[in-house]
């Protein structure tokens, strides 16, 4: 059985420090979405974060919801799924300083170096969605839209959505405050097997330019 | 005569069904994998997935918020008659896409590749794709939609006859391991392998093999059927499960489709249809009635025909 945590938001430092790689997490409170358009606007174009954001929520979800506006101006949130986080790596140090986010949620984690050098020193952990395609389960956990910023400017996918959530999850802890990473750990275990599965298979007749045979490499 | 409204209605309905209800064949494939999975982390992921499909159906919400790139496969019976011509069908399917995007809702994923502009309705230049095929002696119109997710999990390589089956195996492993790490391709997947053709047909066949054949279906060529099982085993023997965790659930099923190719080459493509293997098919009968199913039945004997005449003229291939 995997260990299970229920965390109230904004998350306090003690509950963040209890999250260890491989445990299951559910969240209660408010989470917000922010990805490249928001990062770029705040960090490179002089944009201002909504005042007091960190007091409302310190959880940044890498997500674009399947949302549609109703005629009365409210929103219908269908499914909610994370997007791959590694693409946002270069924004993270400044973003965490500005936003005060202590929990990042996304798909697939970030490079282990980022955990050691950027997230852990700032008291931030990374949670990954499970299986990734769990949009319906996560959608059920979203009880409503608190507010949305920059919808007209950035569109549905890139706007900053503040969701009121209840039993929002499950998520799996990838990185903890020591900078350990579940993905890195599991990846190493998988890598140990690779020599065996490739044994006896010849190199292709025609190589690709720059091709390497190091299968411990990752694409991110 | 089949009317444009009927086609639009059928297109709209399959868009909804595909986004929300996981096809039964894939669900039992995942349940099977969950039963066999011995690793606790991978097992937890699979069980969560099953819960997610159930939630989608109960709440009528998309199983994955990334509702992928909606596209269509249309098979037209020789005897089918419809008003508005072929461009009428295209118009009906574009309209169905836009309506379903607002109503389900689907995520408006489609943007201009350079300017990133959009109409918020998944319609644009060359989108949604519509692929056509035809069927002799049939009066119906089959429309299948697939919401193919994923920036990850597809690759192509020009191999040569001398690379042999080992070369195909190696390339398959390369693709599955590379995109399986951290679960970028949202495995376990239905994997499609296209072999032969030219580069574009090779890609197309592999994609159709992944998206348009159901779990448990085997290629009618017994030797290819055997290779399908062998490669599936190789994929599940990587030691990797969902999310790239240690496990044994990588491939739910593996389908191979072939096309005659240049005598000097053996192009191969690999495609993974993700955890949200969304497909739904409508058949519109000559009298306008619509029936729905999840098996596209795209690869008919006619579609895989080998010689000039149909029915096949009994010629034997020489080597
Ligand atoms: S690849 Fe993953 S995130 Fe994308 S549509 Fe499929 S299940 Fe959803």
> Residue B159 has which token pair?
């191999």
The predicted-structure confidence for A33-89, as pLDDT tens digits, reads as follows: 999 999 999 999 999 999 999 999 999 999 978 777 888 888 888 778 898 899 999
Burial of A215 (C-beta count, 10 Å sphere; 0-12/13-18/19+): middle
What angle, 0 to 180 degrees and rounded to 10, lies between the N-to-C axes of helices A36-44 and A151-158?
Answer: 140
- CA distance to A29, A169, B67, per residue, from A6 (Å): 11, 9, 29
DSSP-assigned letters across all residues of chain A? ---EEEEESSPPHHHHHT--TT-EEEEEEEEEE--HHHHHHHHHS---PPTTHHHH--EEE-B---EEE-TTS-EEE----B-BGGGGGGGHHHHHHHH---EEEEBS---HHHIIIIIGGGT-EEEEESSS--HHHHHHHEEEEEEEESHHHHHHHHSEEEEEEEEEEEEEEEE-TT--BHHHHHHHHHHTTHHHHHTTPPPPSSPPTT----TT----
pLDDT for position A66: 75
Helical residues (DSSP H) of B21-162, grouped into ranges: 24-36, 40-59, 85-103
Of A172, A165, A175, nearest in space to A89 by CA: A175
Considering only CB atoms, which chain B residues are within 8 Å of A194? 177, 238
Q: How far is A185 from chain B (nearest CA, A)?
A: 9
Cβ neighbours of residue B192 closer than 8 Å, sequence gap 6 or more: B205, B206, B207, B208, B209, B210, B211, B213, B254, B255, B256, B257, B269, B270, B271, B272, B273
Contact A216, A189 (CB under 8 A): no
- How far A131 CA sits from the closest chain B CA (Å)? 6
Token duo for residue B263: 């005598």
> Which of B103, B183, B186 should one mutate to test binding to chain A, selecting the residue with the greatest count of A CBs within 10 A?
B183
How large is the ipTM? 0.90
Q: Are A190 and B238 in contact (CB < 8 Å)?
A: yes
Of B66, B104, B162, the CB nearest to A81: B66
Contact B179, A219 (CB under 8 A): yes
Q: Would you call A201 and B166 a contact, using CB atoms and an 8 Å cutoff?
A: yes
Q: Which of B50, B149, B242 to mutate to test the pocket of ligand 1 (most atoms within 8 A of CB)?
A: B149
Q: Which of the listed residues B62, B63, B66 should we mutate to test ligand 1's pocket, taking the one with most ligand atoms within 8 A of CB?
A: B66
Summarised one tens digit per residue, pLDDT across range A104-119 is: 999 999 999 999 999 9
Closest by CA to B44, choosing from A170, A190, A142, is: A170
Query: Does an H or E element contain B7, and which?
Result: helix B4-20
Is B118 in CB contact (< 8 Å) with chain A?
yes
Q: Which of A68, A133, A183 sits opposite B64 (nearest CB)?
A: A133
Delineate the domains of chain B, giving CATH numbers in brackets.
Answer: 4-18+63-149+279-293 (3.30.1330), 151-273 (no CATH)
Per-residue pLDDT tens listing for chain B (319 residues): 999 999 999 999 999 999 999 999 999 999 999 999 999 999 999 999 999 999 999 999 888 888 899 999 999 999 999 999 999 999 999 999 999 999 988 888 899 999 989 998 999 999 999 999 999 999 999 999 999 987 889 999 999 999 999 999 999 999 999 999 989 899 999 999 999 999 999 999 999 999 999 999 999 999 999 999 999 999 999 999 999 999 999 999 999 999 999 999 999 999 999 999 999 999 999 999 999 999 999 999 999 999 999 888 777 888 7
How many whole angstroms from its chain centre is CA B123? 20
Name the pTM for this structure: 0.92
Which of B206, B91, B48, B136 is CA-nearest to residue A133? B48
A67, A78, A196: best to mutate for the B interface, most B CBs within 10 A: A78
| Domain A4-199 in CATH 3.20.130.10 | yes
Burial B45-55 (b: 16+ CB within 10 A, else e): bbbbbbbbbeb
């Amino acid at each position: 059985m995997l260990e299970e945590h229920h965390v109230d938001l904004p998350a306090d430092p003690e509950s963040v420090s209890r999250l260890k790689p491989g445990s299951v997490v559910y969240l209660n409170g408010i989470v917000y979405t922010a990805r490249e358009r928001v990062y770029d606007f705040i960090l490179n174009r002089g944009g201002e974060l909504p005042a007091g954001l960190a007091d409302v929520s310190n959880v940044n979800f890498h997500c674009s919801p399947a949302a549609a506006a109703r005629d009365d101006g409210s929103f219908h949130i269908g499914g909610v799924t994370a997007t791959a986080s590694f693409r946002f790596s270069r924004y993270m140090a400044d973003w965490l300083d500005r936003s005060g986010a202590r929990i990042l949620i996304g798909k697939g984690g970030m490079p282990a170096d980022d955990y050691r050098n950027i997230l852990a020193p700032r008291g931030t952990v990374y949670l990954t969605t499970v299986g990734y395609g769990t949009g319906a389960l996560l959608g059920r956990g979203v009880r409503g839209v608190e507010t949305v910023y920059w919808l007209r400017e950035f569109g549905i996918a890139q706007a900053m959505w503040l969701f009121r959530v209840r039993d929002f999850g499950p998520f799996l802890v990838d990185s903890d405050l020591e900078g350990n990473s579940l993905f890195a750990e599991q990846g190493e275990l998988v890598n140990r097997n690779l020599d065996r599965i490739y044994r006896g298979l010849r190199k292709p007749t025609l190589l690709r330019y720059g091709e390497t045979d190091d299968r411990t490499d990752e694409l991110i | 005569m089949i009317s444009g409204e009927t086609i639009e209605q059928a297109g709209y309905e399959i868009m909804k069904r595909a986004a929300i209800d996981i096809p039964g064949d894939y669900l039992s494939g995942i349940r099977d994998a969950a039963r066999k999975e011995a690793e606790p982390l991978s097992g937890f992921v699979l069980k969560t997935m099953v819960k997610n499909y159930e939630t989608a159906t109960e709440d009528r919400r998309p199983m994955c918020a990334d509702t992928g790139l909606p596209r269509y496969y249309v098979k037209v019976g020789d005897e089918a008659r419809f008003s508005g011509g072929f461009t009428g069908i295209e118009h009906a399917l574009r309209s169905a896409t836009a309506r379903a995007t607002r109503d389900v809702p689907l995520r408006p994923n489609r943007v201009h590749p350079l300017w990133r502009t959009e109409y918020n309705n998944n319609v644009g230049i060359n989108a949604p794709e519509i692929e056509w095929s035809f069927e002799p002696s049939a009066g119906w119109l089959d429309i299948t939609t697939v919401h193919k997710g994923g920036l990850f999990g597809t690759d192509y390589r020009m191999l040569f006859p001398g690379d042999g089956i080992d070369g195909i195996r190696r390339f398959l492993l390369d693709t599955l391991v590379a995109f399986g790490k951290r679960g970028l391709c949202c495995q376990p997947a239905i994997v499609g392998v296209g072999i032969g053709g030219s580069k574009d047909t090779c890609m197309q066949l592999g994609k159709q093999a992944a998206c348009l054949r159901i779990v448990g279906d085997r290629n009618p060529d017994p030797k290819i059927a055997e290779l399908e099982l062998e490669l599936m085993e190789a994929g599940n023997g990587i030691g990797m499960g969902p999310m790239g965790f240690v496990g044994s659930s990588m491939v739910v099923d593996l389908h191979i489709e072939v096309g005659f190719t240049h005598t000097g080459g053996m192009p191969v493509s690999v495609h993974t249809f993700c955890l949200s293997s969304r497909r739904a098919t409508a058949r519109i009968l000559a009298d306008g009635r619509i029936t729905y199913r999840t098996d596209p039945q795209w690869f008919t004997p006619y579609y895989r025909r080998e010689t000039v005449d149909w029915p096949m003229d009994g010629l034997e291939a020489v080597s």
